[in-house]
């Protein structure tokens, strides 16, 4: 890919697919092997920048960096880390909207590997199944912890919940600030990005308005 196209894709935050782009051999190495390889290559990056890795403060940085990438920031790349989302019969027949809001988004832009920080708000209309509220948070966290494009993150959360719950009646909103916008390029410190997707009854404008009114009222927090 030529450099001009690279810049266009990065500066415009363009995503290329719904699925996170992964190599066929993505899981050929163990986590320990990945950490070792990343540690080696990141030490070369630091050396190329002119940093002295014999300094006590810097000597352990390549290892810390590699471990952070594999075990923390990008743990959501590995399907074995996907949380088990248990559902339960809707025995009490609850049929109104259920909203889980202000879920922390702690992600990374796949174009510059800089932080994306914000909140997700998820709503659904229970059918025959309901899901534990903390499981929604865990699912959001899982999809956040990988190199991401915000539009894809929103869609991945939506599609997964629709499949788990067996209903299209799901809505997802993500508000987030991108460090690749605030710390480089335009360097806009105040702007944030909002993405939204939904299905089923939320195709109806009144149902979407009901959802947004609940967010606006902050759920009458106690």
Q: Which of 18, 52, 81 lies at the terminal end of a domain, its last residue?
A: 81
Is 7 assigned a catalytic role? Answer: no
pLDDT surpassing 80 at residue 4: no
Residue ranges at the known binding site for Zn(2+): 109, 112, 180
**Active-site annotation holder among 13, 112, 121, 145:** 112
Q: Do 73 and 108 share a domain, yes or no?
A: no
Is 109 assigned a catalytic role? Answer: yes
**CA 195 to CA 73: how far, in whole Å?**
22
Q: Which of 81, 96, 131 lies at the terminal end of a domain, its last residue?
A: 81
> Which pLDDT value is given to residue 149?
96
> Which pLDDT value is given to residue 222?
41
**Active-site annotation holder among 111, 121, 145, 148:** 111
168-200 pLDDT, tens digit per residue, is: 999 999 999 998 887 887 887 878 999 999 999
| Parent domain of 13 | 3-81
Q: Do 122 and 176 share a domain, yes or no?
A: yes
Q: Which of 55, 81, 107 lies at the terminal end of a domain, its last residue?
A: 81
Supply the pTM of this predicted model: 0.89
Residue ranges at the known binding site: 109, 112, 180
Measuring CA to CA, how many Å separate 113 from each of 15, 65, 152?
Answer: 14, 13, 15
With a pLDDT cut of 70, the percent of the chain lying above it is 91
Q: Do 135 and 179 share a domain, yes or no?
A: yes
Question: Which tokens is 124 given?
Answer: 């659904």
Is 163 assigned a catalytic role? Answer: no
């Amino acid at each position: 890919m030529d450099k001009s196209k690279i810049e266009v894709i990065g500066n415009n935050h363009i995503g290329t697919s719904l699925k996170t782009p992964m190599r066929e051999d993505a899981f050929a190495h163990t986590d320990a092997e990945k950490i070792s390889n990343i540690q080696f290559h990141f030490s070369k990056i630091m050396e190329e920048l002119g940093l002295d890795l014999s300094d006590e403060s810097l000597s352990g940085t390549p290892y810390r960096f590699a471990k952070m990438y594999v075990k923390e920031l990008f743990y959501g790349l590995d399907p074995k880390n996907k949380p088990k989302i248990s559902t339960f019969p809707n025995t009490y027949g609850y049929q109104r909207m259920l909203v889980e809001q202000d879920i922390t988004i702690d992600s990374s832009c796949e174009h510059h590997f800089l932080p994306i920080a914000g909140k997700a708000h998820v709503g659904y209309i229970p059918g025959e199944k309901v899901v534990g509220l903390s499981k929604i948070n865990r699912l959001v966290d899982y999809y956040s912890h990988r190199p991401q494009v915000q539009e894809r993150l929103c869609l991945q959360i939506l599609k997964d919940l629709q499949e788990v719950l067996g209903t299209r009646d799901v809505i997802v909103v993500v508000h987030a600030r991108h460090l690749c916008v605030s710390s480089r390029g335009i360097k806009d410190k105040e702007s944030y990005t909002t993405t939204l997707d939904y299905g089923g009854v939320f195709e109806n404008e009144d149902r979407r308005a009901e959802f947004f009114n609940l967010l606006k009222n902050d759920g009458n927090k106690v």
